[in-house]
Amino acid sequence: MRRVLTVLGTVIVLAMAGCEATPSPLASSDGPRLSVEGPWVRTTTGARDATMTAAFLTIVNPGDADVRLVGADCADAAMVQVHEMVMADDKMVMQEAKDGLFVPAGSHLHLTPGGPHIMLMQLRTGFAVGDQVALTLRFSDGSTLAVTAPVKEFVEEEDHYHSPSPTPSPSS
């Protein structure tokens, strides 16, 4: 019996040694490359234009190389763009970030209301609070990252969530 268990143990160890994990496109020898924190999508319920919304999240890059978020995909939207905020005619406006958004090595990128974000347009369905939205982020190094983002309510004084909130003055 002891001999059978020894042989069986040896076979299991050898079999496991031959099974190497397939590396993820977001992993390297020094560990995971990119991760996402706090993803969410704005509800379309009650929106003035329910054919579009935005996704927000933080991309963490603990690696040694810079990367760019160059695109995203969402089966629920006919068009998805990575947007940035720029100054035009003395006001902040959104536009597609043609070269993507920079995610520095050893740091992170926040996609926030009033800042850079992922725009979901020509929606095939509305998004109610509590729904889950599947996104695939695409990066300049060819890697992708699947994200599931809960739909949340977002209330602002104005119905246009792309304008940054004014900074309170020190006397306020």
Residue 71 carries which side chain, given as an amino acid letter? G
Q: What's residue 63's pLDDT?
A: 92
Residue 169: inside a domain, yes or no? no
The residues, any chain, with a CB within 8 Å of residue 54's CB and separated by 6 or more, are: 41, 42, 83, 113, 117, 118, 119, 120, 161, 162
Cβ proximity of 53 and 80 under 8 Å: no
Q: What's residue 87's pLDDT?
A: 87
Q: Residue 93 belongs to what domain range?
A: 30-141
Residue 8: inside a domain, yes or no? no
CA distance 128 to 3: 62
- Alpha-carbon distance values, 43 to 60, 78, 129, 165 (Å): 25, 17, 6, 19
Q: 99: domain CATH number?
A: 2.60.40.1890
Residue 155: inside a domain, yes or no? no
- Look at the chain and report how many structural domains it folds into: 1
Helices (H), the chain: 2-18
Residue 147: inside a domain, yes or no? no
Tell me the CB-side half-sphere exposure of residue 66, using CA atoms within 13 A. Answer: 6
Q: What's residue 164's pLDDT?
A: 40
Q: What's residue 102's pLDDT?
A: 95
Q: Express each pLDDT in 63-105 by its tens digit.
A: 999 999 999 999 999 999 999 988 889 988 889 999 999 999 9
Q: Express each pLDDT in 107-161 by its tens digit.
A: 999 999 989 999 999 999 999 999 999 999 999 999 999 999 999 997 654 444 4
Residue 39: inside a domain, yes or no? yes
Q: What is the mean pLDDT of residues 18-25?
A: 36
Q: What's residue 78's pLDDT?
A: 97
Residue 101: inside a domain, yes or no? yes
